[in-house]
Amino acid sequence: MPRKVIIIGSGCAGCTAALYAARANLNPLMIEGTEPGGQLTITSDVENYPGFPKGILGPELMNLMKEQSVRFGTDVISEEVTKVDFSQRPFKVWVGEKLYEGETVIISTGASAMWLGLESEKKLWGKGVSACATCDAFFFKNQHVVVVGGGDTAMEEATFLAKFASKVTVVHRRHELRASKIMQKRALDNPKINFVWDTVVEEVKDVSQGKVTAVTFKNIKNGEKKDFACDGLFIAIGHKPNTELFKGQLALDKKGYIAMKKLPSMATDIPGVFACGDVQDAIYRQAVTAAGTGCTAAIDAERFLSHNE
Ligand code: NDP
């Protein structure tokens, strides 16, 4: 028997979709994926999720969300989807050799922040290295932070960080920003923000102290290296939606995000396949917005089922 709803991914969007689908008596199957709980499991304190005035640890919040969805009848499997076939209903979802069929599918595979790929960056992640100013700027009050990147995200993060930090240094690998003119101007005009051009970050210090004390800059024009003291490092070099699995199955936009039908609905171009969370959102990317779209996707799936039964 096909499942009524299969949810692929288990971050804020997936867990919320599971909770709503379960409470609609649809007994959803949630396939967790390789990073159960999604991006919040690699952050520390979450202080902007409503309902937690004292903040909550990301992994703890995700455990609670999963527990809540299971309480109402979500079945969870801790595996990774390896292949899908959305060409006809019921939709086919494989985990290795094992085939699951679903009358509807909700995709919530999220996006991953792109990283510089440094060993020190990985070790200090969550200890001064972050990819989300909205989440972490508050921890850098009156401190000096470095932002890497030259796009809209970097400008937005720098401008937001400048409300808290005493100084923000944007380091960009070229001498020309990629960001839109208006976002550039906002950052360039901000007296707290300064720019270091033609430069990359080669190392984050100090792993032995377990916190950020400096970054090693390398000027790519003259090869000169220097340590630059700072208290935090924000990586803003883009995000990659986790949509490899869906290429050729449903419409993606030119950046690889799932292309959605017009709001208000979380419908993709295939009737019965819905998407929610960061896999379809390049702009807001917040836990609470992901959860909101997860709720919407589950309601859409339920309505689709009742219209198509
Ligand atoms: P972008 O791809 O636009 O920019 C990424 C930036 O990071 C580029 O400047 C790039 O340099 C740099 N970069 C990439 N890889 C590296 C690396 N390994 N080392 C150093 N630097 C690197 O991504 P964004 O996240 O900024 O934006 C994504 C999309 O979201 C855009 O379309 C943007 O307009 C949109 N957006 C809109 C916002 C808004 O309207 N409020 C806010 C935020 C994003 P280079 O320029 O040399 O390639």
pLDDT at 134 (0 to 100): 82
pLDDT at 262 (0 to 100): 79
Radius of gyration of the chain (CA): 21
Q: Which residues of 104-115 are buried (b: 16+ CB within 10 A; e: fewer)?
A: bbbbbbbbbbee
Query: Over 80: is that where the pLDDT of 263 sits?
Result: no
| Rounded average pLDDT over 158-164 | 96
Domains in the chain (CATH in brackets) are 3-112+239-308 (3.50.50.60), 115-235 (3.50.50.60)
Query: Over 70: is that where the pLDDT of 44 sits?
Result: no
| Rounded average pLDDT over 38-64 | 88
Between 45 and 146, the more confident residue is 146
- Give yes or no for a contact between 228 and 146, defined as CB atoms under 8 angstroms apart: yes
Q: Take atom 18 of ligand 1 and give the residue whose Cα is closest.
A: 116
At 132, the pLDDT band (50, 70, 90 cuts) reads: confident
Weakest-pLDDT range from 73-87, 95-109, 251-265: 251-265
Taking all residues of the chain, what is their mean pLDDT, rounded to a whole number? 95
Please choose, from the candidates 128, 141, 123, 125, the residue with its C-alpha nearest in 3D space to the C-alpha of residue 233. Answer: 128
- Give yes or no for a contact between 53 and 3, defined as CB atoms under 8 angstroms apart: no
Q: What percent of the chain has pLDDT over 70?
A: 99
Question: Any residues with Cβ below 6 Å from ligand 1, and which?
Answer: 116, 148-154, 156, 173-174, 178, 200, 237-238, 282-283
| Nearest atom within ligand 1 for CA of residue 156 | 42
Q: Take atom 5 of ligand 1 and give the residue whose Cα is closest.
A: 237
Please choose, from the candidates 159, 103, 154, the residue with its C-alpha nearest in 3D space to the C-alpha of residue 131. Answer: 154
- Give me the DSSP letters along 37-86: TGGGGG-SEE--STT-TT-EEHHHHHHHHHHHHHHTT-EEE-----EEE-
For tokens 């100090």, name the residue: 206
Centre of ligand 1 to C-alpha 281, Å, is 15
- Own/partner contacts of 67-70, CB < 8 Å, gap of 24 or more, are 68/15, 68/19, 69/15, 69/16, 69/18, 69/19, 69/22, 69/28, 69/30
Please choose, from the candidates 306, 271, 270, 275, the residue with its C-alpha nearest in 3D space to the C-alpha of residue 293. Answer: 275
Query: Over 90: is that where the pLDDT of 211 sits?
Result: yes
| Rounded average pLDDT over 288-294 | 98
The CA-to-CA distance between both ends of the chain, in Å, stands at 14
pLDDT at 97 (0 to 100): 97
Centre of ligand 1 to C-alpha 239, Å, is 8
Three-state SS at 190: coil
Centre of ligand 1 to C-alpha 92, Å, is 35
Summarize pLDDT for 64-94 with one digit per residue, the tens.
Answer: 999 999 999 999 999 999 999 999 999 999 9
Centre of ligand 1 to C-alpha 179, Å, is 7
Query: Over 90: is that where the pLDDT of 135 sits?
Result: no
Query: Over 90: is that where the pLDDT of 213 sits?
Result: yes
Summarize pLDDT for 218-229 with one digit per residue, the tens.
Answer: 999 999 999 999
Tokens matching residue 86:
């959305």
Q: Take atom 31 of ligand 1 and give the residue whose Cα is closest.
A: 152
Catalytic residue list? 132, 135-136
How far is it, in rounded angstroms, from Cα 267 to Cα 286?
A: 20
Tokens matching residue 243:
């949509």
